[in-house]
A = this chain, B = another copy of it.
């Protein structure tokens, strides 16, 4: 039923790696714990919009752009 074609976690991982950041570094920038970054990337957790916005800001990208990437 989900509209997502691509898992958000994989996209977060791709964007993080493209930014040459470790999970710990992204977590620090986004104000979330490294283990939570790991859970999001593995699809164990679905990020809230608030968390997604924090991650997007840490990656200098819009949250809507990340969501759009899941729909492509």
Contact = CB atoms under 8 A, between A and B. Distances in A.
Contacts of A1: 31, 54, 57
Interface residues of A, number: 25
B2 A50 contact: yes
Interface string A49-64: 1111110110000111
Contact of A64 (B2, B54, B57, B68): B68
Report copies per complex: 2
Contacts of A67: 49, 52, 63-64, 67
A52 B53 contact: no
Interface of A: 1-4, 8, 31, 46-54, 56-57, 62-65, 67-68, 70-71
| Top-6 shortest CB links A-B | A64-B68, A64-B67, A46-B48, A46-B50, A3-B53, A2-B53
